[in-house]
Structures are given as structure tokens and as C-alpha cells.
A and B are shown apart, each in its own frame.
Chain A
């Protein structure tokens, strides 16, 4: 099975900051990588798919990059509604595993 490792587990940031979250796959997954945002008590919501494609309706301040084993999610100017937990997920092979999450908190 492919393991997904995110870093950092949590971070504190201010509104307007640029935030970068990293995800590493235990083996190469090409660009079969998705990013989700989850707020407390809610289901995850897909932000980015295929490593860099923006899901319809998602603000352009979210972007993704990477291929192979190393990926990043960037939020260019953090907004108040962006404080949440972010997960990466590989869709290269079964099981389609998620990372353990990165919690973005208010500084």
C-alpha cells in the first residue's frame, strides 16, 4: 500500500499569509494526487485534483504542484474561511489513501 505523509501536522498563520503544505507519497504516484479541505463537523471538500487542477468553484488562491512523490498545496493569501484541516489523497492505486492531515490555525 502507498503511504501518504503530510507536513507539518499543524501550523499557525495570519490572514493574508502565504501557506504551504507538503505531502509525500511512499512511492511514485505520477500526478494522481488530490487535496481536500475539512472544517469541524463537515465532510471534506475537494480543492485540487490531478495535483494541480482546481476543482470547479474553488477560489484561485488555492494551487497545487508536484509529481512523483512530492506535492505541495499553496494558499497565496489566507482568508478567515480557510482555517481548517487539509488532507492529501492518492488515487494512483488501491487503497486510495489519505494523509494524516494538516491543521491550519489562527495565529
Chain B
């Protein structure tokens, strides 16, 4: 069974930092790209960042570029999101998702999601 389990969420002050982790199991981790997708209260999901299977390709949404860093450890079957210079508008549930490609779509569909980690940025 495919599982993605996030951890590391919490309450942080504006300007602070937080590191999210996602532990994966039930599939060949090194064969898949992974993403972080967030969802602010009452809003639709928003893609945040992507990392390819061997970390060769890394992409960010404009809203987090320069503040967030995605990484993965294929030996530990884990992906991480280091979040710095946090702002109130970063408050959201952060989901770790797996990309399953189709046709020539690079991102494909997000076919598995974790349960989410709540990040609250407030003074």
C-alpha cells in the first residue's frame, strides 16, 4: 500500500523557519517525482514545489521561490521542504504528493497524497 506521511508542521512566527518531512513507503521511491502542494483554509490546492526522481529537476512556485527549498533522500525514502522567511500567507495544510506521468505531461497527475501537515504562521 502506498503511503506518504508528513511531519514537522506547527505554529511559527512571521520570519521564522520550519522543515517539513514526508516519509514514503509502498512503492519504488526512486522511480517517482514528488511534490509539495498546499491548501490555505477555504481555498483550493496550490502547487508549491517539485523534485524529480534523482533530484536533477527542481521547481518552485513564484510565491515561494528563494524562501523554500525542496530536497529528497532516496536512501531514506523521504522528501523534505525547508521553509524560511515564513509569512502569514504561507499558512496552510501542506501535502506531500506523488506524480504519475501520462502522455508527455511532466507533472502527470497527483495520484497519492499524504494526510497533510498544518503550518500556521502567526505572531
Chain A residues engaging chain B, CB cutoff 8 angstroms? 31-32, 34, 36, 43-46, 49-50, 53, 55, 87, 89, 91-92, 94-101
Nearest residue, chain A, Cβ from B59? A94
Chain B: interface secondary structure?
A: strand
B contact residues around A53 at 8 Å (CB)? 102
A contact residues around B28 at 8 Å (CB)? none
Are B109's CB and A44's CB within 8 A? no
Q: How many A-B residue pairs have CB under 8 A?
A: 60
Are B113's CB and A43's CB within 8 A? yes
Least CB distance, A26 to chain B, in whole angstroms: 15
Nearest residue, chain B, Cβ from A43? B113
A contact residues around B75 at 8 Å (CB)? none
Chain A: interface secondary structure?
A: loop
Are B109's CB and A49's CB within 8 A? yes
Given A94-B59, A100-B44, answer yes or no on A44-B113 (Cβ-Cβ < 8 Å): yes
Are B47's CB and A96's CB within 8 A? yes
Tell me the complex Cα distance, A46–B45, Å: 13
Given A50-B103, A53-B102, answer yes or no on A87-B45 (Cβ-Cβ < 8 Å): yes
Selected contact of B110 from candidates A32, A44, A95, A100, CB within 8 Å? A44
Least CB distance, A64 to chain B, in whole angstroms: 12
